[in-house]
Structure 1
Amino acid sequence: MNTPRRFSIDPEEFAGKRVLVTGGTKGAGEAIVRRLGAAGAVTATTARSALPAGQSPNVFVQADLATVAGVDAVVRAVLGELGGIDILVHSVGGSSAPGGGFASLTEDIWHDELSLNLMAAVRLDRALLPHMIARGAGVVLHVSSIQRRLPLHDATIAYASAKAALSTYSKALSKELGPKGVRVNSIAPGWIRTTAADALVKRLADGAGTDEDTARQGIMNALGGIPIGRPAWPEEVAELVAFLASDRAASIHGSEYLIDGGTVPTV
């Protein structure tokens, strides 16, 4: 499958819903913004870089959510322009840590990985969830990673640790907020075929003097294999988000959903 499948969308499903998706200008985050917007949501998103040409969320805030100041800027914008949020999707995340295992991870690297992959969600939740609680309704989705269960020791110890903490935090939050009318779930993607992932495949293929299909298979082998034979498309992650954010999932709460093509080999 070289292109993502097209899904039928109800243009009224999220009509009137105010949605914030962090990290929503690239990859799965961009697909989530596009999917919820197509279903009628009023969308807000954030990124460190400027809004790319051709994207048109209702609200965009350029901010670094790994910092307290960046979170404060986003909170001021969405409360000022939208008055609150009905659906909060924490999609921002990533790792810039070098290879070399635990010894290569400095204090600053640990701080950066935890700030982006854990504390960005914690800080935004702390600022925005009181408004959901006051209304007695809302949905929060934390995007974790299968690496919380399958950490790659060479380069992603800090990232995997932060995502594991995010999943645990999400479960604890669900215990508190469920009785108050706010649903909380998490999503753990495996390898997603984004533009960045395709660029990585090309670099590996060029470096090894092979073709991109071989390089892509090499990555899947390093993950222990993907039984369906391919990474997930961003649009498939967005469909899972749309389902969990919708009234169709009204009784799903405190759960984590893998979307990894079967990569995690255990129950």
Structure 2
Amino acid sequence: MSATVRAESVEGTGRLLGKRAVVTGGTRGIGAAIVAKLVAEEASVLTTARGPKADVPPGVHFVQADASVAADAERAALEAERHLGGVDLLVDNTGGTVMKAASVLHSDDEDWQRDLDTNLLGAVRLDRAVLPGMLALGAGVIIHISSTAAHEPMAEAAGYSSAKAALSAYSKNLANEVASRGIRVNRVSPGVTITSAAEDLFARSAARDGTDRDTALRELTESLGGIPMRRPGTPRDIAALVAFLVSDEAAWITGVDYVIDGGMLRTP
């Protein structure tokens, strides 16, 4: 599956016309789909990635920045102010981990710090850099891309699961803090979603166990209780939800965690 989703292949209604959006990690997978969807909805978009410039939809401004690094988060916010003139919508999408068997015993302080920087503190730092402008406007929307691992921890990713759980607590706290000042904050927690990163995970699991990609995917979903809708998610599934949550159609929604997993999560 291609890691990049082009804007021209995505339908939109123009409901974000005039909005200025920042999406971190927007050149691959879920982030790329979110960028394409926001562009289709006629938002002006700036996106970031750790690596050099990749293929992004026409008109999208790219900044090479690692949102988990404090100086890069500040630089991305300054570039958004310079290029877009401000930020109305922020999607903190950067995340990920290195999967390890028996991850608690085999993860050192450096592993834990990397997971925290990537999956929690990156969002905290960018929010902190962007929020003053939103507060001055008295309006804005922040979306934190979390994971169902925040609800049902993954055995091979203790640091990742813990960081995403912490992101949920932080996100709810921030939502309560800024709601009265016109800022909405919500979380989107995808389940098993077919991205290039997920494909890499399936390939590594298959190589380790001597199976194939489809077997690795089936074993992962079965270990999580299976997917009642009988298919994994796609980046476009996630992007459609994000586009709704940042729009005025969701004007009375804040502090909520939207699990989008085809019914996989076993807890209500």
Please report the TM-score for the alignment, with normalisation by the length of structure 2. Answer: 0.91
**Equivalent in the alignment of 1:15:** 17
One-letter amino acid matched to 1:245: V
Q: How high is the sequence identity, in percent, across the aligned residues?
A: 44
Q: Larger deviation: 39-48 or 53-62?
A: 53-62
- What is the CA–CA distance in structure 1 between the aligned matches of 2:102 and 2:210, rounded to whole Å? 24
In 2, are the aligned partners of 1:33 and 1:57 still within 8 Å (CA)?
A: no
**In structure 1, what is the equivalent of residue 144 of structure 2?**
142
Q: CA deviation at 1:55?
A: 4.0
Give the letter aligned to residue 136 of structure 2.
A
Deviations 1:139-175 (A, max 9, x none): 111111111111123x211111111111111111111
CA distance in 1, matches of 2:158, 2:211: 29
CA drift at 1:218: 1.6
What are the superposed Cα offsets for residues 210-256 of structure 1, whole Å, 9 maximum, x if unpaired?
Answer: 55433321221122211111111000000000010111111111111
Determine the structure 1 residue equivalent to 2:42: 40
Residue type of the partner of 2:218?
Q
Which residues of 2 match residues 56-67 of structure 1 at below 5 A? 56=58, 58-67=60-69
User: CA 1:57–1:120 in 2, change beyond 3 Å: closer, same or farther?
Assistant: farther
For 1:171 and 1:208, how far apart are their aligned partners in 2?
39
Unaligned runs of 5+ in 1: none
TM-score by length of 1: 0.91
> Is residue 2:92 matched to residue 1:99?
no
The partner residue of 1:68 within 67, 70, 73 is 70
Match in the other structure for 2:32:
30
Q: Determine whether 1:112 maps to 2:119.
A: no
Structure 2: distance between partners of 1:107 and 1:119: 15
SS in 2 for 1:13: coil
C-alpha deviation, 1:205, in angstroms: 4.7
RMSD: 1.9
State the 1:99 CA deviation.
2.5
CA contact (8 A) 1:237 1:259 kept: yes
Please say which of residues 48-57 and 86-95 is displaced more in the overlay.
48-57
Amino acid at match of 1:217: R
Instruction: Name which of structure 1's ranges 51-60 and 32-41 shifts more when overlaid on structure 2.
Output: 51-60
**What number of residue pairs does the alignment pair up?**
261
- 1:198–1:124 CA distance, 2 compared to 1 (3 A): same
Question: How far is the alpha carbon of 1:51 from its aligned partner?
Answer: 2.2
Alpha-carbon distance in structure 1 between the residues aligned to 2:224 and 2:53: 32
What is the aligned partner in structure 2 of residue 51 from structure 1?
53
- Deviation at residue 97 of structure 1 after TM alignment: 4.9
Please show how residues 219-234 of structure 1 align to structure 2 within 5 Å: 219-234=220-235
Per-residue CA deviation, residues 72-94 of structure 1 (Å, 9 max, x unaligned), is: 22122111211210000011100
Q: What is the match of residue 169 of structure 2? A: 168
SS in 1 for 2:122: helix
* Equivalent position of 2:246 in the other structure: 245
Partners of 2:130 and 2:12 lie apart in 1 by 28
- Closer, same or farther: CA 206–116 of 1 in aligned 2, 3 Å: closer
- How far off its partner does 1:111 sit? 0.9
Unaligned runs of 5+ in 2: none
